[in-house]
Structure 1
Amino acid sequence: MTILQIVETAAAASLLLTVAEAVRRLYFHPIAHIPGPRLAALTWWYEFYFDVIKPGQYVFKIQELHKKYGPIIRVTPDEIHINDVGFLDTVYAPSMVRRDKYAYQLRALRVPGSVTAATDFDAHKKRREPLSPFFSKRNVVHLEPMVNQKVRQLCQLISKHAVNETPVNLSDVLFAFSNDVASNFVFAHQSDVLADEERSATLRQHSNELLLGININKHFPWIPDFLESLPLFISKPMMPPGLIDLLELFVKARSELMEVLKAKASGKSSDMPLGPTGKESVFRTILDNPSLPPFEKSVLRLEQEGALLVLAGTESPAKSLSIIFCHLLLNPSIFSKLRAELNTVPETATWVELEQLPYLSAVLEEGNRLSFGVTARMARIAHETLTYTPSSHAVPQSSTGKSYAIPPGTPVSITSLSAHTAETVFPDPFKFNPERWLGSEGRGLRKYQMAFGKGGRKCLGFELARAELYLAAAALVRSFDMTLWETDESDVAFVHDYQISMPNFSSKGVRIMVKKL
């Protein structure tokens, strides 16, 4: 057989297999009965087009597809999306109900060793249990002085701009504030990004640029795999600055981890004042846990764990605070009402005391809602057959009320965009309206809040983020008169999905002019 014949035979076989797989996906796949565009059922290139070519737009395209195909649709060959908050508790079930994560989506994060990236239910449970006491409300309350110190430093930095009558990029300094809090909470080594405003701006810019590559990681994981396989002196010049920052964070995590290991080996105890967990570092918490097998305590896994805890703990509260203050300054009546409520408590009010203020709580809930938390589809996989019947919240409303069987092993997602803009729950959903969260009806809305995730995989650092939001928002509202400077609502709008919501690429963040009260 000639080479040409071999090539022709291989091509014919390849074409036959492709056609056979296409027929299987369209007609014989376990979710072939689910409505949706044929291209989405046939190939992941459909998702790629709206993820990469039309940058970060698939989350919005999915909302359009629901209008055409109904509240349940097939968005990739293997995955279902449901636009119905009445099904939230089934998809994102409590911690005692087995739900796995979808490995295809998690490869975008590039940190397989973290608790967030654990696909298997049991692996996640094993990794999370040792961390839970460290991130408990009790431990956060103990470390509240550290958060307050950073709040004071934040106010001092903004005060300098008030004196000099210069604009401050609130997004930059809030990023530094949250980064310091997360880092200093997780690690015994203290960081002080907030002391350098220029570095704060650079780090936030690098972080945003790094996130712009996250969809490429999902579709073409071999690209970062290839870069990581090269010697660092070859790959580093090709890396975006944000990736270099991430490598430095890994080095910091590894350095702290090695010190903890060295101290444990020598029997040396910490000379730091320890809180209710008795641990000065998240690594101590993990390493001292007897239920974790040795491979879960490897240096590579733990440095990934520590790095992602800091990254996640930086982005979420910083983004929420930026969005909150942009909307507060666009709505002076809301700002005035919030300040009046804050003036009813002492300036020394603790986080626990601030939590009792209904309007402050409502403002923060609304800011979190419009931040959307993790905006990417975070599918869950059930091991039993699920039955979906449209509820009164289904979008669009189904005239037939037809039920659909979802086979075991099928990834199913409901995006935070779907949940947070459900008009049956949040009328006029893109309006910043804290009033919706007040009273008993407002408290009932919290079951639809996904800013920190939902169910058994809810964000581990939820309590720490809440402490930051309450303490920082209260201090800034009571300390300064602020006006927006070359900033409008478009600077915090959800325009692109890169794991988190991003505004137009031209946005420089929320910038303000301030006067000290």
Structure 2
Amino acid sequence: MYYLLFPYLAFSSLFVLALYRLFFHPLCGYPGPTLAALTDWYQAYYNIVKGGGLITKYEQLHKLHGPVIRVGPNTLHFNSRQAYHDIYTYGSTLVKDSELYDAMGVHAPESSIMFCDPEVAKQRRGLIQPLFSRRAVISLEYTIQQKIDKLLGLLTNNYNSSSKAVSMAMAYRALTTDIITSYCFAQSANILDSPGLSHPILQGVKETLKKLILWILPEFEAYLMMKAGYERQINSLIKNPDTLSMVEHETIFHHLLEPKDQEPLSKASLMDEAFILVAAGSDTVGNTCNVGTFYALKYPAIHQKLKKELEEAWPDKDRPMSYTALEDLPYLTAFIKEALRVSLGVVHPLSRVVGPSTPEIGGLKIPPGTIVGMSAQFLHMNPNVFPDPYTFNPDRWLVEDTSQLLLDLASFSKGPRICLGLNLAWCELYLIFGNIFRRLDLKLLITEDTIDNFRADNCANYWVPLWEKEYRVFSQKSE
């Protein structure tokens, strides 16, 4: 008889919980799907079953319900530029959502990006920041240029006809991974040396990103290879700290192995920080270069403007042009900003928890403890700030006042948790685009599998966009 009581009690508990979430929860007045108000699995359904379709669903819901929607029992998503800046740019009273970051960080829980406590994150970021200062980046510019030179040689010698075209997504991923590993560790992954760019790290990139958002530990070959490599290097440095003085240039371990006024980091922390630096340091720059190159080759007018400006400023292409000199080129700068805007960066909402002293978000007073977020895609594709947002148009950045445009360019996030590698990323973008369009003459290979446009509706949104199609190019002999 008693065994019948347990199902009854379980059903009754679920019924009461459902009634509370639908009619008595502090967020019950916000619009959204009934199922989303009942369970957090609503979001998981669109990421897992619908294959990265969460942001697309959010777009539909915002069109139906307005700028604020309830997407979980205790979660709101916004589509308002003011709300984005209230949450991220000025949101010092909000903290990272531990549920999201603990799940996302199962492969690197002791890295700074996963820390939800602002003070703990600030201390760790303080250790790493010196390696990514503008001064440090400029002093190590030669390491970036060396890898770019290797890519240009590879394209010129190995991919120089329509029958020998290369996927630029793979080429740029190889380049940015080699740059970040060389920059941070003075030991390059040397993916550009892999025949046909078939290194396991590249082959596993898309699956890694999917597993990241699906909350599954990425026990795949590339991850294990990288982990083993960092472990060997860290073990060697712990055993013989003096070897740090023998490396080619300053590395991340110079800052992490002997932190000032802090306890020494564990080996797990060192490995996790290394892994995240490589993953984050290769993604946004690689995607931006991939997207920007496509539009430059697709639209001759854009390509010609780039080439003309670069030829005038850089008459002898056989002599390197510095990052600081490239920064002064207005059209190249506008092109890079537009490539960053269209390539989006991280698109999954970076969840934050409202605190007791949090001011209004998007003009609304949100109950403390509420999880809030907004995908940067809604910021980048806002037609009120970026007219005709799905058109790749560098000229939009050539107006006299771009302050509002820059405020809403969030490829590296905003505020106190902004990407640490921001200075390095900008340096890479100037040097890569500058060298590609000054020293090579690339040709876009058009096939039935070539992507038409890098639009938000042309990709699956996991942590970052995963485009359904790619494109291939080959290097023509320069005149």
Read off the aligned partner of 1:93 and give its amino acid letter: T
Q: CA distance change for structure 1 residues 6 and 140 in 2, over 3 Å: closer, same or farther?
A: farther
2:460 aligned residue: 496
Determine helix, strand or coil for the equivalent of 1:125: helix
Separation in 2 of the partners of 1:490 and 1:496?
Answer: 15
Does 2:231 align with 1:270?
no
Q: CA distance change for structure 1 residues 325 and 199 in 2, over 3 Å: closer, same or farther?
A: closer
1:397 aligned residue: none
2:335 aligned residue: 363
Separation in 2 of the partners of 1:298 and 1:133?
Answer: 20
2:184 aligned residue: 186
Determine helix, strand or coil for the equivalent of 1:147: helix
2:100 aligned residue: 105
Using the size of structure 2 for normalisation, the TM-score is 0.92
Give the Å deviation of 1:201: 5.9
Gaps of 5+ in 2: none
2:277 aligned residue: 309
Read off the aligned partner of 1:152 and give its amino acid letter: D
1:379 aligned residue: 351
Q: CA distance change for structure 1 residues 211 and 425 in 2, over 3 Å: closer, same or farther?
A: same
CA contact (8 A) 1:93 1:99 kept: no
2:67 aligned residue: 71
Q: CA distance change for structure 1 residues 177 and 12 in 2, over 3 Å: closer, same or farther?
A: same
Give the Å deviation of 1:336: 0.3
Deviations 1:445-487 (A, max 9, x none): 1110111111111111111111111111111111222222136
Does 2:256 align with 1:286?
yes
After TM superposition, the structure 1 = structure 2 runs for residues 49-448 of structure 1, keeping only pairs within 5 Å, are 49-94=45-90, 97-106=92-101, 107-110=103-106, 111-161=108-158, 163=160, 166-200=164-198, 202-217=200-215, 224=217, 243-264=220-241, 270-272=245-247, 274=249, 280-294=250-264, 297-346=265-314, 347=317, 348-386=320-358, 388=360, 403-448=363-408
Does 2:30 align with 1:34?
yes
CA contact (8 A) 1:98 1:121 kept: no
Deviations 1:115-143 (A, max 9, x none): 11111211211111111111111111111
Deviations 1:76-113 (A, max 9, x none): 11211110012222100358x24311122221242211
1:233 aligned residue: none
Using the size of structure 1 for normalisation, the TM-score is 0.86
Separation in 2 of the partners of 1:153 and 1:439?
Answer: 36
CA contact (8 A) 1:341 1:359 kept: yes
Q: CA distance change for structure 1 residues 31 and 163 in 2, over 3 Å: closer, same or farther?
A: closer
1:512 aligned residue: 473
Separation in 2 of the partners of 1:301 and 1:156?
Answer: 37
Give the Å deviation of 1:60: 1.2
Read off the aligned partner of 1:499 and give its amino acid letter: W
Q: Quick one: percent identity of the two aligned structures?
A: 28
Which stretch of structure 1 is more off in the superposition, 13-22 or 203-212?
203-212
The count of corresponding residues between Structure 1 and Structure 2 is 467
CA contact (8 A) 1:173 1:200 kept: no
Give the Å deviation of 1:310: 0.5
CA contact (8 A) 1:363 1:434 kept: yes
Separation in 1 of the partners of 2:258 and 2:30?
Answer: 47
Deviations 1:407-435 (A, max 9, x none): 22222111111111111001111110011
Determine helix, strand or coil for the equivalent of 2:99: helix
Which stretch of structure 1 is more off in the superposition, 21-30 or 493-502?
21-30
Q: CA distance change for structure 1 residues 198 and 163 in 2, over 3 Å: closer, same or farther?
A: closer
Q: CA distance change for structure 1 residues 318 and 268 in 2, over 3 Å: closer, same or farther?
A: closer
Which stretch of structure 1 is more off in the superposition, 340-349 or 146-155?
340-349
Separation in 2 of the partners of 1:122 and 1:389?
Answer: 23
Separation in 2 of the partners of 1:415 and 1:319?
Answer: 17
Read off the aligned partner of 1:254 and give its amino acid letter: E
Give the Å deviation of 1:162: 5.3
Does 2:13 align with 1:17?
yes
CA contact (8 A) 1:493 1:502 kept: no
